[in-house]
Amino acid sequence: MKATLFRWGAPETEHAKRIRFQVFCDEQQVPVEMELDEIDAIATHVLVLSEAGEPVATGRLFPDLHDPSEGRIGRMAVLREARGLGCGAHMLRTLIVEGQRAGFRGFVLDSQVHAMPFYERQGFIAEGPEHMDAGIPHREMRRPAAD
């Protein structure tokens, strides 16, 4: 599989939108109007292609709005048919390496509660209470930039 970093508006954007709408809006019933936001314009995005060259996963990284020294990872979405193949870990690793290159001292994300074990395997530690986002239970998770 191959991960490509891009900025919103690049040709990869349409693939990322399709993946996000399919995973978040169609599967998880997140309202369509909540899916795209102003953060997309400032974030670094990643698109993961399968071995066959098909777009199967996307995510984004941007300076955390509360602490810009940390990178916030979000909108991690893997198409159902590509889950369990390592796409999510490859995508997350790509975003972390890019964040290390950009000088972030650590990373923060809001994990859906069911996905927390995935992020824990990547070095993230849960912090704070569970909260609801788009009707889905989440917890904030953090990890330092260094491995």
pLDDT at 147 over 90: no
CA contacts within 13 A on the Cβ side of 123: 12
Q: Share the mean pLDDT of the chain.
A: 94
Domain positions in the chain: 2-144
Give the pLDDT confidence of 39-79 residue by residue, as tens digits.
999 999 999 999 999 999 999 999 999 999 999 999 999 99
Distance in angstroms (rounded) separating the CA atoms of residues 57 and 137 = 22
Distance in angstroms (rounded) separating the CA atoms of residues 66 and 88 = 26
Q: Does the domain spanning 2-144 belong to CATH 3.40.630.30?
A: yes
Question: What is the rounded average pLDDT of the residues 130-145?
Answer: 89
Distance in angstroms (rounded) separating the CA atoms of residues 44 and 12 = 12
